[in-house]
Structure 1
Amino acid sequence: MTQPTPMRVQMQPLFQQPAAQPQQTPVPQQPPQQKQGGDKRILRAFAARRYLGGSGIEIGALGTPLDLPPNTQVKYVDRMGLDALYREFPEMAQRKLQAPDIIDNGETLETIPDGSLDFIVANHFLEHCENLLGTLRVHAAKLRKGGRLFYAVPNRDHTFDRHRQTTPFAHLVQDDQEGPEKARAAHYLEWATLVSGKQGDEAQQLADRLQREKYSIHYHAWDAAAWFNTLALAVDYNKFPGFVAHFELNLHEMLAVLVRTK
């Protein structure tokens, strides 16, 4: 695999009014230092205030839709309607879930025209995507010039994924080029053993059942350094027409904003 061309990144304080257009500066060699906790919803809102505006979509908001700036128009996308979401996630029965405006697969967004959005928000969604690189390409295609991709991804080290290895970029390339079906069974078995704690036949039975049910697991997992490097490589691999404008680590998740420049 060829080495990626330099990714562009902007690291600016969030406690400011939104900038007109991020300026490109060289990427740092390492991800920023970890913040010790904080309210992820507040930190997301500060980033949204700085980078988001116009009209766009949020994928998979469930019980934590992003707090968007005033005068921002958003439609909510999910793969099923509100009643089905409550059935899918019985543990959220006592929480208010965001009703979807659009029923669509967030990985393919077939109902959304290319070049039609100012932003896409997808928090704690990308780890559920079987073909991450394909999903990133789709999302980029839906943006207008100047549009932004706003992603929060869980930090493996502080979730139930902590016993798993971080996903190598070569695996993501294989998913993209050969199809995710090739690794699907292995993903479910890894989930059954390293997340659910099952062993032997019991693990295989659980993996088979979850796969039959198409249960949405975390197919991939990253710590901060792995996700930072994955974004850098993905920008090059997908020939993304823009740059990474923001990368922030807040203990349990990594927050990134990508800007399309043409």
Structure 2
Amino acid sequence: MAQQPQPDKRILRAQIAARHIQGDGIEIGALGTPLNVQPYARVKYLDRHSLEDLRKEYPEMAQRALVKPDIIDSGETLDSIPDGSLDFIVANHFLEHCQNLLGTLRTHARKIRPNGRLFYAVPNRDFTFDRHRPVTPFAHLVQDDRDGPELARDQHYLEWASLVAQLPPGEAEKHAAELKAKNYSIHYHAWDARALFDTMARAVDYIEFPGFVAHFELNLHEIICVLVRTR
């Protein structure tokens, strides 16, 4: 019997991108899976590490081709990107790594022009190693934004060590402390499809985003969400 081809998350990503991504923009954290865009989209790649340091950070990707970043910067703050200078920002499997999600969305919204797009793919908790974790409530995101994410950092690392690494008490605390000391980029937050839909809808109001959620769709083990700035 012929082996069935495996589903490829990049196909739907590219189809949605063809409708929304054009002009000049950036992709954050592309690593080995940059978004496939049309010729009318011009992309620069941004990451917090150089290609050499990415190789050290992700030894499990040693055999994969990784995108060389054009810009070294934090994808959460985008300090090197002028406000209103981009037509789009792409950030796939990035939002869950943001310690202050709402602050990041506010920054991204500020960096794009009117009619600009924010294109995100986010892991669906139910189909990833996050499946044992509770979904992140919106009130927690508000606390991160108002009081600073440092207050919840210990909790995040311990939850990761306990529910993702599934270490017993004692070992979990030790592993969490080691990850925190290295500032290792875990999934600070987790959502299923219902929780992410609620989060993005409420975030638009909370950050006073000058636009709307234009696309929300399940894509295998992830969820794709596109926001459009209208003014």
* Alignment TM-score, normalising by the size of structure 1: 0.85
Equivalent residues in 2 for 1:1-262, closer than 5 Å: 38-262=7-231
How far is 1:201 from its partner? Answer: 1.1
Could you tell me how far apart the structure 2 residues matched to 1:113 and 1:94 are?
A: 35
Q: Taking CA–CA contacts closer than 8 Å with sequence separation of 6 or more, which of the two structures ends up with the larger relative contact order?
A: 1
Moved over 2 A (4+): none
Specify the code of the residue in structure 2 equivalent to 1:112. Answer: I
Q: Name the amino acid aligned to 1:136.
A: L
The Cα of 1:230 is off from its aligned counterpart by 0.2
* Secondary structure of the corresponding residue to residue 116 of structure 2: strand
Shift of residue 38 of structure 1? 3.9
Give the whole-Å Cα distance in 1 for the aligned partners of 2:40 and 2:103. Answer: 31
SS at match of 1:200: coil
Compute the displacement of 1:199 (Å). Answer: 1.3
- Inter-partner Cα distance in structure 2 for 1:245 and 1:195: 32
In the alignment, is the contact (CA less than 8 A) between 1:188 and 1:211 conserved in 2? yes
Q: Percent identity of the aligned residues? A: 69
Tell me the C-alpha RMSD between the 2 structures: 0.8
Q: How far is the alpha carbon of 1:71 from its aligned partner?
A: 2.8
2:3 maps to none
Question: 1:134, 1:83 → 2: CA distance?
Answer: 29
Structure 1: unaligned runs, 5 residues or longer: 1-36
Aligned pairs, number: 226
The residue type paired with residue 12 of structure 2 is: L
Q: CA deviation at 1:250?
A: 1.7
Deviation of residue 141 (structure 1)?
0.1
Q: Which runs of 5+ in 2 are unaligned?
A: 1-5
CA distance in 2, matches of 1:51, 1:102: 23
